[in-house]
Amino acid sequence: MPIDKLVSVIILAYNQEKYIQDSINSVINQKYSNIEIIVNDDYSSDKTFDKIQEIKDSRIKYLKSEYNKGINASLDSAIREAKGEFIILLAGDDMMAPNYLEKVLGTFEKNPDIGVVYCNLILIDENNKKYKSIVSKKYYSFDRPEIEQLRHAFLYGNFVSSPGMAVRSKDLKAILPLPYSIVNNQDFKMHIDMIINGVKNIVLDDKLILYRRFHNKTNISSKSFKTELRESLEFENVMDSFLKIKDINLLEKMFEKEIKQTGIKPYPDTIPYFLGRMAIYVKKDAKKSWGYHKIINFLKDKKGFDLVQKRYGLSYNDFLNLTQEFHNTTFERCFKYKKLFNLFLVLTIIFGVFLLILCIAFFIKF
State pLDDT tens for residues 162-198. 999 999 999 999 999 999 999 999 999 999 999 999 9
Contact (Cβ atoms closer than 8 angstroms) between residue 243 and residue 266: no
Same domain, 223 and 250: no
Instruction: Convert the pLDDT of each residue in 45-101 to its tens digit.
Output: 999 999 999 999 999 999 999 999 999 999 999 999 999 999 999 999 999 999 999
Domain final residue pick, 204, 236, 268: 236
Please state, as a whole number, how many other Cβ atoms lie within 10 Å of the Cβ of residue 137.
12
Which pLDDT score is estimated for 364?
A: 75
Q: Which amino acid is at 200?
A: K
| CB proximity list for 204: less than 8 A, separation 6 or greater | 103, 104, 107, 117, 118, 119, 120, 143
Residue where one domain finishes, among candidates 208, 236, 264: 236
361 assigned to some structural domain: no
Residues 15 and 145 occupy one common structural domain? yes
Any domain includes 362: no
Among 184, 209, 236, give the residue marking a domain's end.
236
Q: How many domains does the chain have?
A: 2
181, 270: one domain = no
Question: Which residues partner with 337 through β-bridges?
Answer: none
The list of the chain residues with pLDDT below 70 reads 1-3, 133-143, 216-223, 327-347, 362, 365-366
How far is the C-alpha of 254 from the C-alpha of 151, rounded, in Å?
5
Look at residue 347 and tell me if it is in a domain.
no
Range of the domain at 166: 7-236
- Determine, yes or no, domain membership for 79: yes
Q: Do 119 and 94 belong to one domain? A: yes
Report CA dihedral (343, 348, 354, 355) to the nearest 10 degrees: 170
DSSP annotation of 130: B
Q: Residue 161's closest CA among 186, 128, 179?
A: 186
Q: Indicate if 61 and 23 belong to the same structural domain.
A: yes
Identify whether residues 168 and 282 lie together within a single domain.
no
Helices (H), 255-329: 256-262, 271-279, 285-298, 302-312, 316-320
Return the pLDDT at 137. Answer: 40
Per-residue model confidence (pLDDT) at position 284: 87
Residues 169 and 301 in one domain: no
Residues 133 and 270 in one domain: no
Give the CATH number, domain containing residue 185. 3.90.550.10
Strand partners, 9: 37, 88
Element (H, E) at 201: strand 200-212
Q: In this structure, is residue 169 part of a structural domain? A: yes
For residue 118, list its beta bridge partners. Answer: 203
202 and 267 within one domain = no
Collapsed DSSP state (helix, strand, coil) of residue 186:
helix
Query: How far apart are alpha carbons 273 and 16 in whole angstroms?
Result: 45
pLDDT of 1:
57
Asked if residue 348 is part of any domain, the answer here is no
**Is residue 274 a part of any domain in this protein?**
yes
Backbone angles phi, psi at 123, to 5 degrees: -80, 125
Same domain, 23 and 148: yes
In a domain, 18, yes or no: yes
Angle in degrees, CA 175, 179, 184, rounded to 5 = 110
Same domain, 208 and 277: no
* 226 and 151 share one domain: yes
